[in-house]
Amino acid sequence: MKQERLVDLRATTVIRTLALIIAAALILEVIWIAREVITWVVIALFLALALDPLVSLFERRTKVGRVWAIGAIYIFLALVITAIGATFLPALIREVNGLVDALPSYIQDLTHGRGRLGFLETKYHIVEKVKAQVETGGANKLLGISGTALSITQSVITAVVATVTIIFLTFFMLLEGRSWIDRFFSLLPEHSRPRWRAIGDDVYRTVGGYVSGNLLISLIAGSLMTIVLLILGVPFAVALGLLVGILDLIPLAGATIAGIVVVTVAALHSPVAGIVVAIVCLVYQQVENHILQPMIYSRTVQLSPLAVLIAVLVGASLAGVLGALAAIPVAGTIQVILRDWLANRQTQPTPSQGG
């Protein structure tokens, strides 16, 4: 007969466990509520890490204060963005207006079963289905339209607020980031400060390398697509290339969304152009995902290609787009800490050697 075992738990142990669970739940709840602000902070952190080398270089060369160096870099970036806008914005506005002007004819062709999209009406009767949904919606349709307009207005306001907030967050991170890091190091034991400063420098180079690598890949994607569309004579080539470059900043999903839009516009221009652009998009996405990204990130972030792919997949599954964006620098940071821990462990004497 087996003897029963009784586990005696103290009241303080139970209280501490419950307190930890409640504290963890509260922290997760706060993170969920403030997830939008946390996203702004993460974006500002990436921008600060990307701009810090330029600010530091300008500060060393000109011997000016930190505030003036940051202001000069901000003005320089504003001038660069203005110059790019002055170069491409007229063509971009012209092409976007042309796309908007062409939409009614596309819709008319679709309604009468003509043109590239006519098969949607002749085979699937898409227009009748949309009309039926509108008629059955009744008053809900009007409310839906007003709700959509309100949602769009709120999105625009949020985007403006987010942009301004990120600009100021980046400014103050560039201005006060080093002092915050110094305060953190001052809390550590004096003998361990050089080690953690070396880890911080490696993490800084890792995240900065990721930001520069991501920008380089997006520039390649946008430029390649613009060239292909110009060669094929597809309209709105500059606008579509810019869209590809912006969306390509988002790992995994961004390139796919951009590819769908570009292939659709190219197919409306001509079936041959649609097929060629689809092939280019498929081939380039494979090259980017399996060759270009691992090769660039393995040099800038110093991660193996396999580690890059695994990090992006895990990050995307855990936190969507933001997780995919942060996955590679987080993986690089973990690698830096593990590498330092292993190196420090190997240099420590074993008990037999110490005795």
- Is residue 209 located within the same domain as residue 148? no
**Residue 123, SS3?**
coil
Question: Are the beta carbons of 254 and 325 closer than 8 angstroms?
Answer: no
The answer to whether residues 236 and 208 belong to one domain is: yes
**Are 55 and 81 members of one domain?**
yes
**Per residue in 244-263, pLDDT tens?**
888 887 766 677 888 888 99
Same domain, 229 and 126: no
Inside any domain, residue 230: yes
Closest CA to 48 of 178, 196, 187, 218: 178
CA separation for the pair 80, 217 (Å, rounded): 19
Percent of the chain at pLDDT exceeding 70: 72
Rounded to a whole number of angstroms, the distance between the first and last alpha carbons of the chain is 49
Higher pLDDT, 131 or 292: 292
**CB contact set of 106 (below 8 Å; sequence gap of 6+):** 115, 117, 268
Task: Please give the pLDDT value at position 189.
Answer: 85
331 alpha carbon, distance to own chain's centre: 15
Residue 279 has pLDDT above 90, yes or no: yes
Same domain as 203, residue 246: yes
**pLDDT, tens digit, for every residue of 3-32?**
566 555 677 877 888 888 998 888 888 878
Q: Identify whether 238 is part of a domain.
A: yes
Q: Is residue 152 domain-shared with residue 200, that is, in the same domain?
A: no
Q: Are residues 171 and 253 in the same domain?
A: no
Residues 145 and 271 in one domain: no
Q: Last residue of some domain: 129, 159, 187?
A: 187
The dihedral of CA 252, 171, 208, 77: what is its sign? positive
**Distance from the Cα of residue 78 to its chain's centroid:** 21
pLDDT of residue 227: 92
Asked whether residue 50 is assigned to any structural domain, the reply reads yes
Per-residue confidence (pLDDT) for residue 48, from 0 to 100: 85
Q: Where residue 139 falls among pLDDT bands split at 50, 70, 90?
A: very low
How far apart are the C-alpha atoms of 143 and 126, rounded to whole Å?
23
pLDDT, mean of residues 159-188: 85
Would you say residue 321 has pLDDT above 70?
Answer: no
Number of residues written out for the chain: 355
Instruction: Report if residue 27 sits inside a domain.
Output: no
Rounded to whole angstroms, the Cα distance separating 236 from 265 reads 9
Looking at residue 115, what is its pLDDT? 59
- Predicted pLDDT of residue 143: 47
Last residue of a domain, one of 133, 166, 187: 187
C-alpha span between 264 and 24 (Å, rounded):
47
Q: What pLDDT does residue 355 have? A: 46
Same domain, yes or no, for 172 and 205? Answer: no
Domain span including residue 239: 192-344
Domain presence at residue 10: no
Average pLDDT of the segment spanning 296-315: 73
Same domain flag for 241 and 324: yes
- Residue 23 domain flag: no
pLDDT tens per residue, range 56-77: 888 888 888 888 999 998 998 8
**Residue closest to 325 by CA, chosen among 257, 247, 269:** 247
- C-alpha distances (whole Å) from 24 to each of 31, 33, 40, 47, 351 are 11, 14, 23, 30, 38
Structural domain count of the chain: 2
Q: Compute the distance between CA of residue 319 and CA of residue 325 in angstroms, rounded to an integer.
A: 9
pLDDT higher than 80, residue 103: no
Q: Residue 116: is its pLDDT beyond 60? A: no
Q: What is the DSSP string of 131-185?
A: HHHHHHHTHHHHHHHHHHHHHHHHHHHHHHHHHHHHHHHHHHHHHHHHHHHHHHH
pTM exceeding the 0.75 threshold for the entire prediction: no
Question: Is there a single domain that holds both residue 162 and residue 216?
Answer: no
What is the token pair recorded at 65? 């204060």
Give the residue from 163, 187, 211 where a domain finishes.
187
Is 16 a member of any domain? no
- What pLDDT score was predicted for residue 351? 53
For residue 306, tell me if it sits in a domain.
Answer: yes
In this prediction, residue 104 carries a pLDDT of 61
Mean pLDDT along residues 280-296: 82
- Region 304-319 average pLDDT: 75
Percent of the chain at pLDDT exceeding 90: 5
Report the distance separating Cα 82 and Cα 100, nearest Å.
25
Do 169 and 300 fall within a single domain? Answer: no
